[in-house]
């Protein structure tokens, strides 16, 4: 017997399998042809308008190209017209620290931001936090020109600052009317996020009149901000927020880092007013009475401390050589009214001082030692 006889006998069923497979394939082709014939008859019965893609129609399986409508052309025009007036700002700061041997060390730190040239004199609007404590400031235009900038002045309370560069044929951004903005309107942000020069992003005006805390304990807020979902990132600070007309309506200033699409800009109406004061006086002149810290009295606090008043501001600290000190105010006094209006929050007192103005007089009602006394403060100018 051949040693391969077993394998030869097992080959016969395989032959039957091949015959069956060929038959299945042939049968499948016949069935498939019948099905396709039926499909062809159904297609022939369809209206002609559905069989061939006409104008605006995309055949099944093909990818439709992106729309190139009005919005994209507007953003492109804004980038072309406003973009050159938005500059890149680079800064150097000195950070002082002490090493293990208590030796004083100085380290240079670099910073990046954005700004907007807003007049022919080369004044640049930006954020105060972009240039705060900077020892050197450089400005780079979109055409590659570089300048050393001087600081005209800055204001912590509105997070705005004005720089100046000296050059010829400087591009100037057109300032718009932030009071005319509407929620849902186009918003285009131009700046230098993470050092990527002259980046343009687009979105909408998400909300108006927002507030963000700068120092909640002192009641210092950035107020009346524009909220937008146009992507804003570190490096965009100080850049332009532009409306659909190509006018600068805000200065980009902050984001909510834990969220997506929540950015804020200072209205250009505020920025224009602050810039004018900085250019004229080198700072923003503000009315001031010298109270530096207060404690808001609520009904719960009044109940716990058995106070006869359920609202007001208790004076925690004040400047010794100040209008408040000169008027006889002291620590522990509870201000219950200012300028004839009840005082419940820090904002109430601040508004009363602002209304009185520098050189004005502010009448206060103060709870002290179990009774209400009156005091008149001569409002001064903040140092």
- Residues labelled catalytic: 129, 159, 237
Whole-angstrom CA distances from 24 to 16, 17, 20, 21, 227 are 13, 11, 6, 5, 68
Query: Is 85 in contact with 240 (CB distance < 8 Å)?
Result: yes
Q: d(Cα 306, Cα 342) in Å, to the nearest integer? A: 20
Query: Is 289 in contact with 380 (CB distance < 8 Å)?
Result: yes
- Number of H helices and E strands in the chain, helices first, is 8, 21
Q: How many CB atoms lie within 10 A of CB 321?
A: 8
Residue 102, exposed/middle/buried by CB under 10 A (0-12, 13-18, 19+)? exposed
Query: Is 90 in contact with 133 (CB distance < 8 Å)?
Result: no
The secondary structure element, H or E, covering residue 48 is helix 48-51
CA 351 to the chain's CA centroid: 26
Half-sphere exposure of 29 (CA within 13 A, CB side): 5
The secondary structure element, H or E, covering residue 336 is strand 334-338
């Amino acid at each position: 017997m051949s040693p391969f006889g077993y394998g030869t006998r097992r080959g016969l069923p395989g032959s039957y399998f091949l015959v069956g497979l060929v038959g299945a394939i042939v049968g499948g082709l016949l069935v498939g042809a019948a099905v396709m014939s039926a499909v062809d008859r159904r297609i022939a019965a369809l209206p002609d308008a559905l069989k061939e893609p006409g104008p605006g129609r995309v055949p099944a399986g093909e990818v439709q190209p992106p729309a190139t409508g009005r919005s994209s052309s507007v953003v492109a025009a804004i980038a072309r017209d406003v973009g050159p007036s938005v500059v890149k700002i680079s800064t150097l700061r000195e950070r002082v620290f002490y090493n293990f041997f208590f030796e004083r060390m100085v380290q240079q730190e670099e910073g990046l931001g954005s700004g907007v040239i807003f007049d022919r004199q080369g004044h640049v609007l930006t954020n105060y936090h972009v240039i705060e404590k900077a020892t050197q400031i450089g400005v780079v235009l979109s055409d590659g020109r570089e300048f050393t900038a001087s600081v005209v002045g800055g204001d912590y309370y509105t997070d705005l600052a004005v720089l100046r560069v000296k050059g010829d044929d400087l591009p100037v951004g057109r300032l718009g009317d932030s009071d005319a903005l509407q929620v849902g309107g186009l918003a285009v942000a131009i700046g230098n996020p993470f050092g990527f020069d002259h980046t343009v992003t687009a979105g909408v005006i998400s909300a108006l009149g927002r507030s963000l805390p700068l120092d909640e304990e002192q009641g210092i807020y950035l107020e009346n901000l524009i909220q937008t979902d146009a992507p804003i990132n570190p490096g965009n600070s100080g850049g332009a927020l532009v409306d659909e007309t190509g006018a600068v309506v805000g200065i980009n200033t902050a984001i909510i880092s834990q969220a997506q699409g929540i950015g804020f800009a200072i209205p250009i109406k505020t920025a224009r007013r602050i810039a004018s004061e900085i250019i004229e006086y080198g700072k923003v002149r503000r009315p001031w009475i010298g109270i530096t810290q207060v404690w808001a009295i609520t009904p719960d606090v009044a109940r716990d401390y058995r106070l006869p008043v359920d609202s007001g501001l208790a004076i925690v600290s004040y400047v010794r050589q100040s209008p408040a000190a000169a008027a006889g105010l002291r620590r522990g006094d509870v201000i219950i009214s200012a300028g004839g209006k009840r005082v419940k929050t820090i904002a109430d007192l601040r508004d009363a001082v602002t209304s009185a103005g520098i050189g004005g007089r502010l009448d206060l009602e103060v709870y002290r030692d179990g009774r209400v006394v009156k005091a008149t403060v001569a409002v001064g100018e903040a140092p």
